[in-house]
Structure 1
Amino acid sequence: MNKKIGFIGTGNMGSAMIGGLISRGTVKAEAILVSDRNGDSLSGAETRWPGISCSTDNSSTVKGADIIILAVKPHIYKAVIEEIAPLVDESKIIVTIAAGVTISQAETMFGKDVKIVRTMPNTPALVGEGVTAYCCNSHVSESEEREIIPVLESFGIVEKIGEEYFHSVIAVSGSSPAYVFLFIEAMADAAVLQGLPRAQAYRMASQAVLGAAKMVRETGTHPGELKDAVCSPGGTTIEAVRTLEKGAFRSTVIEAMNNCALKSKEMTKG
């Protein structure tokens, strides 16, 4: 890719994206511009990725970049956009990563026609295993969309969806790492209760989740069928599954995700 990519913000998600772009060779470090008002964050970025251009001035990043990723918290989007809007022209593509900020809302903040790609990544992007959903506004051409996809693929898999499904995406991938972390912690706690050292419990529980997820992805087999294959008649696994179902395991997960999506809708309205 010959484009220059600018990041406004160097938090967890911005750092994950920068690291993925460089480690996968999507762009060279010299093609990345970063701005952040936090000098310590910038120093850390310069040390970690030699060659990137760093500044505390957002305008310098916007002027020099073809693709600008707004990697800041949702509550400061308006202030950042108002600052950079005069410098954004029809040649630049804006990528948003904030929950609760729709394309329409971002367009209103800019106050003019701007090319916007709305995305929703998740924190496993930090280890190159993220999921990112995206959609584009009408000003983004097909060729420009093709340029954005490798950027998003640099830290995980990418799915194009209609913007109306973003609330579901937040529930199923954006927020779901927290559910999985909770599940791993619970499994490890149970193993510790049964006498297993905690460090081993965490390694084994996390690897079990990783391996099970990989089986679903790589075999294409329905998760229910994979579950059935582990449940021998009268065995230990079916006993554990029975106990989970007695506690309304699946229904609780569904209810939690429904509430997550509802909260996302409330945030968007606000």
Structure 2
Amino acid sequence: MKVGFIGVGSMGSMLIDTLLEAKSIEEKDIVVINRTVLKAKAVQEKYPGVMIAPSIKELAETCKWIFLCVKPKDIPVLTPTITPFLTNEHVMISITSPVSVEHLEELFPCKVGRIIPSILNRAQSGSTLVSFSNRCTQEDEQEILAFISTISSPLFIDENVTRVSSDIVSCGPAFFAFMAQRFIEGAVSETPLGEKEATELTTSMLIGLGKLLEEGYYTLPTLQERVCVPGGITGVGIAHLDQLVGDGFGSLFRLTEEKFSSEKQKLVQEFQLK
């Protein structure tokens, strides 16, 4: 079965790279199309077996599963160009969070799903947030989940927690990378340690931390208890961090929720959805 990708920007190309690396699919079974043809050609130059569809019509006629990897604001323009070629057998899979499965059902006359990836999937790790429409059969869901499971851990989510789940899974790596970078900058500015050494040490620490949690040696609270000796250096550091952070993460989630709600409202108005 051939799989289509509409849009091969940052996330679309990342999915293709990862799926091919994991041997989840062969080059000859991937069909791509992109508004900017040069991006599609770049994918084909990297993977000669990949087909560039000459039109949306041909992509729809060739592929049963179609990954919709475009920005939410681009969906209204795309919708009328592809809907005439969709059948009950197609599964349109969006990777964007602001457009709900219910909205996708109103936009496309076929089976729909939403799979929100994370940059962590590039390492065949992390979670992918999943939800399906009622039009999808159990067989559809099982096949797509098996496909996605080759590069991530699929997690079913309800619509009311989509935003916060996406904050943690998709935005979280950027948030923690930002904090790690500031951590490095603090060490470099206040000690003789060089940036290269501080980066290597911090990267190694984060990888080791992930392995400890993944293997179940510690939970986050028990890890802190194990390292933080009363009256010791770690205890002083954590007390300071507690003062610095305060309600910072609560504020972060409030801000991202406000931004999400604002964008979603604009999309609802633009799509003229109920």
Q: Same fold (TM over 0.5)?
A: yes
Out of 209, 212, 218, the residue aligned to residue 215 of structure 1 is 212
- Does the Cα contact within 8 Å between 2:129 and 2:155 map onto a contact in 1? yes
Using a 3 Å threshold, how does the CA distance of structure 1 residues 30 and 101 change in structure 2: closer, same or farther?
Answer: same
Q: Aligned letter for 1:159?
A: L
| Contact 1:66–1:92 under 8 Å retained in 2 | yes
Partner of 1:93: 91
Which residue in the other structure is 1:237 paired with?
A: 234
Post-superposition Cα deviations, 1:116-154, rounded to whole Å, max 9, x if no partner, equal: 111221222333334211110100011100111133223
Q: Which residue of 2 aligns with 1:81?
A: 79
State whether structure 2 residue 261 is matched by structure 1 residue 265: yes
- Partner SS state of residue 211, structure 2: helix
> Quick check: 1:7–1:71 contact (8 Å CA) kept in 2?
yes
**Matched residue type, 1:141:** T
In 2, are the aligned partners of 1:37 and 1:57 still within 8 Å (CA)? no
Higher deviation after alignment, 157-166 or 88-97: 157-166
Aligned to 1:189: 185
Counterpart for residue 270 of structure 2? none
> How does the TM-score come out when normalised to structure 1?
0.91
Per the TM alignment, residue 257 of structure 1 is displaced from its structure 2 partner at its CA by: 1.9
- Greater CA deviation, 68-77 or 207-216? 207-216
Provide the residue aligned with 1:119 in structure 2.
115
Q: Which shifted more, 59-68 or 101-110?
A: 101-110
Does the alignment pair 1:30 with 2:28? yes
SS at match of 2:84: helix
Q: Deviations over 1:138-185 (max 9, x none)?
A: 000111001111332233221112222211212211221221111111
Identity %: 21
Residues 187 and 198 in structure 2, CA contact (< 8 A), matched pair in contact too: yes
Structure 2 Cα separation of the partners of residues 8 and 149 of structure 1: 20
Matched position secondary structure for 2:215: helix
Letter in 1 for 2:99: V
2:251 to 235, 252, 255: 255
1:59 partner letter: K
Q: What is the CA–CA distance in structure 2 between the aligned matches of 1:61 and 1:205, rounded to whole Å?
A: 45
1:186 Cα deviation from its structure 2 partner:
0.6
Residue 5 (structure 1) aligns with:
3
Moved more, 52-61 or 156-165: 52-61
2:221 matched residue in structure 1: 224
Distance (whole Å) between structure 1 residues aligned to residue 10 and residue 217 of structure 2 = 31
Distance 2:153 2:196 in 1: 30
Aligned-pair CA distance for 1:220: 6.3
Pairs within 5 Å for 1:35-50 = 35-50=33-48
Q: Which runs of 5+ in 1 are unaligned?
A: none
The SS at the match of 2:106 is helix
CA contact (8 A) 1:33 1:52 kept: yes
Please give the secondary structure, in 1, of the residue aligned with 2:97. coil
- Residue type at the aligned position of 1:109: L
Matches within 5 A, 1:94-173: 94-110=92-108, 112=109, 114-173=110-169
The Cα of 1:43 is off from its aligned counterpart by 2.1
Tell me, in whole angstroms, the C-alpha distance in 1 between the residues paired with 2:133 and 2:226. 45
- In the superposition, the TM-score normalised over structure 2's length comes to 0.90
- Count, aligned residues: 265
AA of the residue aligned to 2:72: P
Q: Which digits, 9 at most, give the CA deviation of each residue in 1:85-113, with x for residues without a partner? A: 11111111110011211112222222x3x
Is the CA contact 2:105–2:133 (under 8 Å) kept in the aligned structure 1?
no
Q: Which runs of 5+ in 2 are unaligned?
A: 267-274
Give the superposed CA RMSD: 1.7
**In 1, Cα distance between the equivalents of 2:264 and 2:79?**
17
